[in-house]
Amino acid sequence: MPDLSPAREGAPSDLIGALRAVQHGLWPRKEFAQAALGSTINGYVFHLGLALVFLGYAPHIAFVQRLSGLSWPPLPDAVMYLAAGATIVSLLLAVVSRLTNAVLRKISTADDLITWTLVMLPMLTGMSVVVEPSLAILARDHVTYPIPLAIHLLSVELLLIWFPFGKLMHAFLFVFSRGATGMRFSHRGVQL
Amino acid sequence: MSTASTTPSAFDRQGSESDKLRIDAAMHSFVSEFGITTALHMESCVRCGQCAQACHFYVTTGEAKYTPIYKLEPFRRAYLRQTSPFAPLIRALGLIKKPGIADLEQWQELLYDSCTMCGRCTLACPMGIDIAELVKEARHGMFKAGLVPERLALMDRTARQWGSTATPGEDLPEILAEASRLHGVEIPCDLTAADILVTAAPAELGEHTKALADAARILNRIGAKWTMAQSGFDAANVGFNNGDLELQERLTRALIDTAVRIGAKTVLLPECGHAYGAARWEAAKWYGQALPVRIIHMTEFLDELIASKRISVKKIGGTATFHDPCQIVRRGGLEAAARRVLAALGFELIELQDHGLASYCCGGGGGVVSNQRATPLRHKVFEMKRKQIEATGATHFVTSCGQCRITFEMGAKHADWDQRTESMLELVADNLAD
């Protein structure tokens, strides 16, 4: 049923309320920061590392360019190796935490381990094909290690197939989920 | 998710329906709750567990089963099996087990005894999942299944019969007359026309009639044309807490219809948190259109009277700390209003370590205070609150919700604690300036 209650006097619009909630969700409130600090930092390391590797690695950009014609300047290989290493470490920390923390063990489902595995696989198979600098790879007009590369692509495809079935959908839904609560709260005059 | 529990679950049953009928009723109700917002919230959870540290029941016991999102497990399974985008696939492959009667019985404790729907977990969730709202929706299914703590079910039956958990409407004139005599203030009842319909919380119709007298003293001071009415007087909507939607609607309509009948422009709610949640934010839903009356909580009423100088109060002075009732502040938006009233009373406010939006619940909201089964849990939360209150060193401890006050009083009695929990309304009424 729709909410027909009058909004609190002076309450911001639904859109502003939603956007504020999206922004507030970027970091825990100070009351929860101590308890959530480790998992939050680990989450940021993982997401930023993954984004850097996916979007900044020269062979990835070349792959996108072949398909769409779009390209952008790559990041140095050293940055990529560092980002990939940090991402893998963050994933390992996440799974150790999930398997050892009593709360996480209680609430975990098969989705968590399936998703973790399918995210880890492209990282590992990707690292296995990084045997020479980006410039050398791109200078060649053919692939010298087709099977490892095919496995890497296959692992990415598995990840994409799984994407809509599990928790990976939070990548899109978090905006709407936070936004819906932000609208409810701002309607009531609650300033998050 | 794991379904193992470290302690035996407590559960009650109402009615004599078969297990199958109970499960069907719960599932049907769960499914009817799955709108867009609920689906977004169910799909967005990454099971990070950050909600655990926000919950007073987890924090004070350390038991993982009190992790807020875990309290929604049967609800989650119902969603995935019945409504999620891949529900047919999930059912066909048997990927998610349908909640059984044992699950629902086990989760009765998690949904009713160890959740006050305070919404602190909602603030902590990085995905913005409104877990408190989802628990409320899950309770609807539990009520339909006849799986509610018996004490709450008893209150429900009483309210269905009387329109109140405290007294039948026909006894109201006598109660008000007695309160009027006892406290020396006129309390009008059943006027055929008035500007303000004044409502009460159940305890105010029993041992706390001073709250009625306090409200009356202030209303009479400003010369308001007001009344209480047999046809709609109890604002603490027990249907809202129990998950009884039919009762929630009936109790809500009683207030609004009475107000409309007597030409009131305002329904004044007592110092009660869940009354505010049920009436201020959900009444229009049941009425089916924008309300023809304004619904206002006692806290904002006092704030407006003081700000507009219709009343003035004597400065009490000294130090005070304030417990923020969850439904009035975190889920109601009246954080600043309460503090303005305290400032008008001349208090130097010393905030609790966790205050305002992030204040911990008293431990008795959502019907938990009435659920005697949950008493040991409630006492653990009281200990945490007591330490925070004592740490402020404040002379006065004030709140603006009668249920919170009763919860603190019960905790204090158990712990032999001599700090009095003061009502904001009472402080204002006792200190009206000439």
Quick one: B41 and B94 in the same domain?
yes
Residue A7: closest C-alpha in chain B = B281
Q: Which residues of A touch B334 (CB under 8 A)?
A: 189
> What is the Cα–Cα distance from A165 to B293, expressed in whole angstroms?
46
Domain endpoint, select from B304, B322, B350: B304
Using alpha carbons only, what angle is made at residue B310 by residues B307 and B314, rounded to the nearest 5 degrees? 75
Quick one: B92 and B168 in the same domain?
no
Domain endpoint, select from B148, B174, B191: B148
Task: Specify whether the CB–CB gap between B129 and A177 falls below 8 A.
Answer: yes
* Band of residue A143 on the pLDDT scale cut at 50, 70, 90: confident
Q: Which of A24, A181, A192 to mutate to test the interface with B (most CBs of B within 10 A)?
A: A181
Nearest-neighbour CA in chain B from A46: distance (Å): 14
Q: Which of B7, B33, B43, B295 to mutate to test the interface with A (most CBs of A within 10 A)?
A: B43
Q: What tens digit of pLDDT does each residue of A162-188 get?
A: 999 999 999 999 999 999 999 999 999
Question: Complex ipTM, two decimals?
Answer: 0.94
The CATH code of the domain that includes B35 is: 1.10.1060.10
Torsion B282-B283-B288-B293 (CA) sign: negative
Beta bridge partners of B269: B297
Closest CA to B50 of B77, B73, B68: B68
pLDDT at residue B185, as a whole number: 97
* Contacts of residue A174, Cβ cutoff 8 Å, sequence gap at least 6: A22, A25, B44, B126, B127, B128
Q: Which of B7, B32, B47 to mutate to test the interface with A (most CBs of A within 10 A)?
A: B47
- The dihedrals phi and psi of B115, each to the nearest 5 degrees, come to -145, 125
Query: Could you tell me the residue ranges of all domains in chain A?
Result: 33-186
Quick one: B245 and B369 in the same domain?
no
Q: What tens digit of pLDDT does each residue of A17-68 get?
A: 999 999 999 999 999 999 999 999 999 999 999 999 999 999 999 999 999 9
What 3-state DSSP class applies to B256? helix
Q: Which residues of A touch B357 (CB under 8 A)?
A: 190-192
pLDDT tops 80 at residue A6 = yes
Closest CA to B430 of B396, B385, B387: B396
- Residue-range definition of the domain harbouring residue B255: 162-304
> What is the Cα–Cα distance from B105 to B108, expressed in whole angstroms?
5
Q: What tens digit of pLDDT does each residue of A60-96 get?
A: 999 999 999 999 999 999 999 999 999 999 999 999 9
What 3-state DSSP class applies to B198? strand
Quick one: B344 and B392 in the same domain?
yes
> What is the Cα–Cα distance from A15 to A4, expressed in whole angstroms?
17
Tally of domains in chain B: 3
pLDDT at residue B5, as a whole number: 44
pLDDT at residue B1, as a whole number: 60
pLDDT at residue B9, as a whole number: 52
Closest CA to B256 of A66, A112, A5: A5
Which of B127, B281, B283 is the closest to A174 by Cβ?
Answer: B127
**% residues pLDDT > 90 (chain A):** 90
Judging by DSSP bridges, how do beta strands B266-269 and B294-297 pair with one another?
parallel
Quick one: B212 and B126 in the same domain?
no
In a domain, B340, yes or no: yes
> What is the Cα–Cα distance from B403 to B320, expressed in whole angstroms?
20
Nearest-neighbour CA in chain B from A102: distance (Å): 6
- The dihedrals phi and psi of B347, each to the nearest 5 degrees, come to -80, 145
pLDDT at residue A191, as a whole number: 86
The CATH code of the domain that includes B323 is: 3.40.50
Instruction: Please report the residues numbered 94 through 133 in chain A whose beta carbons come closer than 8 angstroms to any beta carbon of chain B.
Output: 101-109, 111-112
Beta bridge partners of B268: B198, B296
10 Å CB burial of residue B433 (0-12, 13-18, 19+) is exposed
pLDDT at residue B3, as a whole number: 47
Closest CA to B267 of B300, B241, B243: B300
Task: Specify whether the CB–CB gap between B50 and B124 falls below 8 A.
Answer: yes
Distances (CA, A) of B133 to A31, A75, B115, B130, B137: 21, 45, 11, 5, 6
pLDDT tops 70 at residue A16 = yes
Residues in chain B where the model's pLDDT stays below 50: 3-8
Quick one: B229 and B280 in the same domain?
yes
In a domain, B14, yes or no: no
B333/A4 Cβ within 8 A = no
Domain endpoint, select from B116, B148, B180: B148
> What is the Cα–Cα distance from B196 to A93, expressed in whole angstroms?
60
Average pLDDT, chain A: 95
> What is the Cα–Cα distance from B424 to B299, expressed in whole angstroms?
8
B354/A103 Cβ within 8 A = no
Quick one: B195 and B104 in the same domain?
no
In a domain, B168, yes or no: yes
Task: Specify whether the CB–CB gap between B368 and B362 falls below 8 A.
Answer: no
Closest CA to B32 of B320, B249, B245: B245
Would you call B70 an interface residue with chain A, using a CB distance cutoff of 8 Å? Answer: yes
